[in-house]
Amino acid sequence: MIVPPPYQLALSAVLFTLGMVGVLVRRSALIVFMSIELMLNAVNLALIIFARLRGSEDAQVLVFFVLVVAAVEVVIGLAIIVDMFRSQDTVDVDEADLLKG
């Protein structure tokens, strides 16, 4: 391992933080969704780093499952966004307040 682990982990932490800021700041459901993907990838990177540090491939299998769940999540999430756009003509998450009462 040529690159020191703290630098790798720093990349993971910063990417996760960027995703979090995106979820907090943006209002377009599509961008919020992409920010969530960014956070998932940051976590995947952390898992891969720790798999390498510990010399065990178990975390890589976990990343495989994260990939599967992310694929399903994107399919369902985008279907919901399209449905929201059809019924409300917007993908602004602040406008999605039908359940607000």
Partner 1 sequence: MAGAVLFTVIAALALAGGVGVIASRQPVHSALSLLLVLGSLAVDYLLLGAQFIAVLQVIIYAGAIVVLFVFIIMLLHARGEEDLTRRAVLPPAAAVSLGAAFGLVLLIVLAGIAPPPAAVDARFGTVQNVGRILFSRFLLPFEAASVLLLIGMVGAVALGKRLPARSGSLPRGASPAAAGELRR
Site residues for partner 1, 57-96, by CB under 8 A, read 57-58, 60-61, 63-65, 67-76, 78-83, 85-92, 94
* CB of residue 33 to partner 1, shortest distance in Å: 8
CB atoms within 10 A of CB 77: 17
Q: Pick out residues in 22-41 that bind partner 1 (CB under 8 A).
A: 22, 24-28, 30-31, 33-35, 37-38, 41
Contact by Cβ (8 Å): 59, 47? yes
* CB of residue 101 to partner 1, shortest distance in Å: 10
Contact by Cβ (8 Å): 11, 45? yes
* CB of residue 41 to partner 1, shortest distance in Å: 6
Question: How many whole angstroms separate alpha carbon 45 and alpha carbon 10?
Answer: 10
* CB of residue 85 to partner 1, shortest distance in Å: 5
Question: How many whole angstroms separate alpha carbon 35 and alpha carbon 56?
Answer: 29
Hey, is 28 helix, strand or coil? strand
Residues in contact with partner 1, total (CB under 8 A)? 79
